[in-house]
Amino acid sequence: MPTISAGRLAVILGSLVALGPLAIDTYLPALLTMAGHFQVPIHDVEISVSVYVMGVAAGQWLGGPFSDQFGRKPVAYGGLLLFVAGSLMIPFSADVQQLYVLRFLQALGGGATAVIAAASVRDHFSGKEAARVLTTIGLVMLLAPLLAPAIGSLLLSTAGWESIFYMLAIYGMMLGLVVAFMLPTVSAQGGNEPLRKRLFTSYGRVVRERRAMGFILANALSFSAMFTFITDAAFLYMDYFGLSAAQFPIAFGANVVTMLALNRLNVILLRYYETAAIMRAGLIIQSVAAMVLLLLSLSGWLTLWMVIPLVMVVCGMMALVMPNGIACFLSLFERDSGAATGLNGTLQFLMAGVVGAALGSFHNGTPLPMTLLMTMASVSALMLFLLLTREEPRS
């Protein structure tokens, strides 16, 4: 029987998962200012977004098995310590290369902290109930990217870009208190298996589960489609379409409003449909929207008022894809829930980081590279889902 209510657990874990969106979205309005500070093109500073997600990938890869071995709380404490330390040092970066290093350190801690969220859900709930809790976590988490650009713009205009990272450090410290006094303690799952062996064997058990890998890879690629936009959002809206730093949070926040609405829709859909069916519908709609964006880019007909609603659809579908995908693959594991969550997060952020880095490398001053990568990621997610998650017919 659960030792904590679903609503309370969702709020606690949502505040942990929100660490990632806050660390990325609060400083998006400051990218142009930071580029001026470091005297580099904006695309050089945009690379720090991809560096962050690569660090999150590494943090989740380590944090998943560590949380199975030692428990959820100790991993969260260690992760938050790294995150706070990185946040406090970033304002003193001497150049953009040092910024990359410190963002990676910050992300390593953030990834290790966030990975315990889905695994903690599996500690208390399973099946459709787990999907509902994960959806509620998504609702709490979505408040971060809704508010983050506005908070970043306010801090940028009143106290400079450095204040954004001081705010992140304070938030990390507050999360330490939340973990200490509000998150239930769950016994470690480590058993007698040595940690150095568990780091690889637990992942091996996850990788060999075909259907789980279908859900995990589809999650990762679908997220990459959205993250491609996030990486290029400052260029797309402020440089290409000429929006101001004050207008940017409104255009960016439209995506989060869509995700919030679809998050609530997912709760209703779970009463009538299976989690995998909802995920499939989300992947199909996301792929269609991304392909329309690509066609408009190729034709030269892409306008701001076409981009905003289509991007809203691509990003909004994550509210149907992500929580249902996580619930689907966690239902296949009992012992290795931390490792499964870690692999999901690792691939999710690793692929997003690679796609983001590719975007920076091939950027040509137009939205075409962004829309091409969004289409490739979303269509690949749908194909892998259809190929790998089907159940074998019973003989």
Within a 10 A sphere around the Cβ of 228, how many other Cβ atoms? 27
Most confident of 7-21, 47-61, 127-141, 281-295: 281-295
The verdict on residue 191 lying in a domain is: no
Q: pLDDT tier at 395 (50, 70, 90 boundaries)?
A: very low
Domain limits for position 281: 6-182+198-388
Question: Which segment of 73-82, 123-132, 177-186, 222-231 scores lowest on mean pLDDT?
Answer: 123-132
The CATH number assigned to the domain holding 346 equals 1.20.1250.20
Hunting for tokens 């590279």 — which residue is that? 369
Give the number of domains in the chain.
1
Residue 186, by phi and psi: left (phi above 0), alpha (psi -120 to 50) or beta? beta
For the segment 193-235, what is each residue's pLDDT rounded down to a tens digit?
Answer: 666 666 677 778 888 889 999 999 999 999 999 989 988 888 8
The verdict on residue 189 lying in a domain is: no
The pTM for the full model equals 0.75
Beta strands in 168-307 (DSSP E): none
The verdict on residue 378 lying in a domain is: yes
- For the chain, state the CA radius of gyration: 20
Question: Which segment of 20-34, 278-292, 343-357, 366-380 scores lowest on mean pLDDT?
Answer: 343-357
Q: pLDDT tier at 190 (50, 70, 90 boundaries)?
A: low
The verdict on residue 209 lying in a domain is: yes
CA proximity to 145, closest of 10, 249, 239: 249
**pLDDT score of 281:** 97
- Residues whose CB falls within 8 Å of the CB of residue 86, separated by 6 or more in sequence, listed in order: 102, 103, 105, 106, 107, 108, 109
256-276 as b/e: b if 16+ CB within 10 A: bebbbebbeebeebbeeeebb
State percent of the chain over pLDDT 70. 91
Q: State the chain's mean pLDDT as an integer.
A: 86
The verdict on residue 276 lying in a domain is: yes
The verdict on residue 235 lying in a domain is: yes
The verdict on residue 51 lying in a domain is: yes
The verdict on residue 100 lying in a domain is: yes
